[in-house]
Amino acid sequence: MSERQLQTNIKGLTGEIEVPGDKSISHRAVMFGALAEGKTTIHHFLAGEDCLSTIACFQQLGVAIRREGDYVEVDGKGLHGLKEPIGVLDVGNSGTTTRLMLGILAGVPIHTTLIGDDSIAKRPMGRVTVPLRSMGAKIDGREHGQFTPLSVRGGELKSIHYHSPVASAQVKSAIILAGLQAQGITKVTEPFTSRDHTERMLQAFGATIDIDQTTVSVQGGQRLKATAVYVPGDISSAAFFLAAGAIAPNSCIVLKNVGLNPTRTGIIDVLKQMGAQLTITNERVQNGEPIGDLTVETSELKGIEIGGDLIPRLIDEIPIISLLATQAHGKTVIKDAEELKVKETNRIDTVAIELTKLGADITTTADGLIIQGRTSLVSEHVQVDSHGDHRIGMMLAIAALVTSGDMKLKRSEAIHVSYPQFFEHVEVLSQ
């Protein structure tokens, strides 16, 4: 467990950086490459701990994967080529690996067991195991398959039409991946449209996916063909520097090659509604994913209300949006965000606890937060804590930049899950 002295009370942030590859897309590129026929190449892969867990799991399943820095080659085995592993599959801290792997393994005639760290052991897996069991999957685990460890004996699956009670890309993706191996047409309907990286990337791998508003359909028995994937910069990682550029004095930051998938750009909508000076240039499309460069400058922000169908488009950005709200004039209300309670931490409570240490005025609600701004953040030899959550850790490091006093971050190593170069980029922009 590490403790890091944070840089506080900076005079400005200027310069240009390229944030790491998108975590969601990096996971899927490895997974779909493993299930495809032929060699898939992946450029700008996120070599964070979560995505490395995905690589390790597929290597145990008999897939040859080579990585050099952010370049990865995957020798696909086809949908029916995975081999039974000798040991258990350790997903580490990765909920994406766990839930999408369940969808894949449900239709493969082998036995596997998935385990993870203490955080994964607390995260709800019933939202995936219940629909997969209705397709015929044989899954058992702690509390009747609600939590890891989970044991899967894959086999023949039947198609279903599943009405998901939550808008979750992980739930949707698990069912789609099982549906590729099922008989007939499998459908998933969500209350709101969640991230659609799976649908976009499967089409890049040659699959036919039908989309009708919030319903996605896939025909079983399709074969995937290897392709070349470029992973755009992760907008969830870019969000921390978008926020930093907006609230730090005398700042102008350029973020290159950031993914602009419309199911993920809620943070941009929020920043603009709050009054941020933010521009998008050099827009283009690669592998079905829109990409562009973002420029943000120091801005006068105002409080707003955030909820409804906007929440699935920025669920991972709510910690950093909460920090933005402390520096905005007026009240910000975040609602309809119950999903925050089952992330790496209960992010509703954790955000409030940690920012309150710095003097923020935050009230928790059953489904979100009420934040009063504008607040001067002050640290009198305060120790803040990531609680093992990478997004909480990065939010607190950005908070330090506009905080006066001395501040240390406990469990800073959590940031390596999604942004290994985070502190290096902070230093580059602070010069």
Architecture of the domain spanning 3-20+232-430: Alpha-beta prism (3.65)
Residue 26's alpha-carbon distances to 21, 38, 43, 80, 258, in angstroms, are: 7, 18, 9, 22, 14
The DSSP symbol for 45 reads: -
Catalytic residue among 22, 196, 316, 385: 316
* Nearest-5° Cα angle at 280, 170 to 329: 85
Domain layout of the chain by residue ranges = 3-20+232-430, 23-230
Summarize the confidence of residues 386-390 as an average pLDDT.
Answer: 93
Confidence of residue 381 (pLDDT cuts 50, 70, 90): confident
- Residue of 284, 229, 228, 215 whose CA lies nearest to 256: 284
The average pLDDT across 379-396 equals 93
- The answer to whether residue 344 scores a pLDDT higher than 70 is no
DSSP lists the bridge partners of residue 74 as 40, 65
Tokens, residue 52: 């490395």
- The kind and range of the H/E element at 115 are strand 111-115
Buried b (16+ CB within 10 A) or exposed e, 96-127: bbbbbbbbbbbbbeeebbbbbbebbeebebeb
Structure confidence at residue 287 (pLDDT): 83
pLDDT at 418 (0 to 100): 87
Tens digit of each residue's pLDDT (9 = 90 or more) over 55-114: 999 999 999 999 999 999 999 999 889 999 999 999 999 999 999 999 999 999 999 999
- pLDDT at residue 220, as a whole number: 97
- 318: enclosing H helix or E strand: helix 318-326
pLDDT in tens, 250-287: 999 999 999 999 999 999 999 999 999 999 999 999 88
Looking at the predicted structure, is the pLDDT value of residue 173 above 70? yes
Spatial strand order of the sheet with 89-90 comes to 89-90, 111-115, 147-153, 138-141
- What pTM, to 2 d.p., does this model score? 0.87
Of the candidates 268, 250, 248, 249, the one whose C-alpha atom is nearest the C-alpha of residue 258 is 268
pLDDT of residue 338: 84
Cα-to-chain-centroid distance, residue 51: 11
**Contact 213/251 with Cβ under 8 angstroms?**
no
- At residue 346, the pLDDT reads 86
* Structure confidence at residue 152 as a pLDDT band (50, 70, 90): very high
**Structural element, H or E, at residue 252:** strand 252-259
DSSP label of 12? -
23-230 — its CATH code? 3.65.10.10
3-20+232-430 and 23-230 agree in CATH topology: yes
pLDDT at residue number 312: 86
pLDDT in tens, 80-90: 899 999 999 99
Which residue bears the tokens 């002295």? 5
When mean pLDDT is compared across 112-116, 149-153, 174-178, 344-348, the lowest value belongs to: 344-348
Amino acid identity, residue 165? Answer: P
Q: How far apart are CA 234 and CA 205, in angstroms?
A: 21
Active site annotation includes 140: no
- For the segment 157-177, the average pLDDT, to the nearest whole number, is 96
